[in-house]
Amino acid sequence: MKTMRVETRADQARQDHEIKIDFDVSLRRAPEAAAAAIPVDQIMVAVESVRGYVVSHLGRIGRASDADDVLQDIRVAVWDGVARGRYRQLPGVPFGAWVQGICTNVCASHIRWEMSHKTYPLLGDPAACNGTASLDAAVLLGMDRAGGRSCEKIVDQEWARTIIELTRSSVSARDWELALASLGGPRRYGPPSPQDRRRWHAATVVRQTARTVEKALEVELDAVCSISELCERAAACLPTVVLRRTAAVIVRPGVRGPERTKALQALAAELGVTQRYVAVQIGFARRLYQAAWRIIRAGMQGVA
């Protein structure tokens, strides 16, 4: 009798263990590696097939030259996805469709990154323009994205060329060449080197100088009746609040010694930055202020 009860309990336990839960087997684990094996040649062909899409979308923001870099990112993403088993072969769905999805995401990410970083194309030599300035030069030196100035408004090519020449004459030859190397060379990824930082700094100097030159050329000369007004307008031409206030409070009055220390303290408190940050801006603010002053003064003499 005891033996029968033991066998009955064993049979019941075996039946309970064999009860199956009804669910999608595909959710149990990742697909087998063999199911996601894609030949390298097929990967290369599929990625190359989206080149037209990449060039078209990057061309909308003027970055078609980045197509090879973006395609390389797509190759890496596709290869990584296949190697990690993230691609699953589905009936009726070609491998190229999955690659197209990756391409769309990589392109969108690259465009978002580009749109969040202001870059301006530079020209090599203004003298090579044969009397006219290219649209790239106008975009670089005649358009302020933040101010909403559109390319369609730039119709005077001589005006654009004047900005190019004045900007180049207002910066050092070293900064100009480094800026060209920074914005005209191939894009490189990875931690920045000291040389990269020098090029980026030079590009910032050229860009800020160009914006200052533009503002100085737009000053209404009829409203400038004295040297005091000239100095005030020159300080107002600088491109950022920190630079404008530094020029107005420290550079323009020419404060020195203890007076400069007090001015630094007051200006740092006003702008919400450190005194050291303001002190570092003085030299650059002075160069921009002097460039704007010379341009406005030359315009006044020409009008007179």
The CATH number of the structural domain formed by 24-115 is: 1.10.1740
Please give the average pLDDT of every successive group of 10 residues along the chain, which has 304 residues: 51 52 44 59 89 84 78 88 83 86 89 65 45 41 41 52 84 86 62 76 86 88 85 91 92 89 90 87 93 88 59
- pLDDT value at residue 285: 93
- pLDDT value at residue 303: 52
- pLDDT value at residue 154: 41
Domain limits, the chain: 24-115, 130-218, 219-304
- pLDDT value at residue 132: 40
Query: CB of 249 within 8 A of CB of 267?
Result: yes
For residues 176 and 178, what is the distance between their CA atoms, to the nearest angstrom? 6
Query: CB of 87 within 8 A of CB of 36?
Result: yes
- pLDDT value at residue 94: 86
- pLDDT value at residue 292: 92
CA 181 to chain centre: 16
Residue 236: burial class (beta carbons within 10 Å; 0-12, 13-18, 19+): middle
- pLDDT value at residue 25: 42
